[in-house]
Amino acid sequence: MQSKEFIKDQVKSFATKLTPEQFLELTEHEYSLVVLDVPIKDYTLTEIARLVEDNNVRIFRVEVIPSKDGLSLLVSLKMDVSDVSAVLRSFERFNYNVIYYFMKEGDINDTYDDRLNELLHYLDM
């Protein structure tokens, strides 16, 4: 399975219609999704979990599949927060390749909004 297909499957599973029980579970927690591309020789689930949990975030679901080339793994993490900015920064500090993320809101989205507003203000001058 290619990485694009894997991401599409993850997003579909994240956004599919829910049973009433699943809906009640989702209303209790805000879920976010992060997909990493990790070389097989560097893959350690305990290290990934430690980086996430050091930011006071819990992992609810993990899926790992080998990439098409067989040299890396695609690691999908569903987490219990609506803002994974701190987790993304931790992955960046430890040189993990984040190929996709989804979150409801957060510092990263706010930063992009601020930069866009500054650009629009500059263009209006």
Q: Give the pLDDT of the chain (125 residues) as one tens digit per residue.
A: 567 777 777 666 655 555 555 544 544 555 788 989 999 999 999 999 999 999 999 998 888 888 888 899 989 898 888 888 899 999 999 999 999 888 876 545 556 666 667 777 767 75
Which pTM value belongs to this model? 0.63
The DSSP string of the chain is --HHHHHHHHHHHHHS---HHHHHHHHHS--EEEEEEEEGGG--HHHHHHHHHTTT--EEEEEEEE-TTSSEEEEEEEES-S--HHHHHHHHHTT-EEEEEE-SS-HHHHHHHHHHHHHHHHHH-
CATH fold of the domain at 3-124: Alpha-Beta Plaits (3.30.70)
Q: Where are the domains of the chain?
A: 3-124
For position 23, what pLDDT does the model report? 44
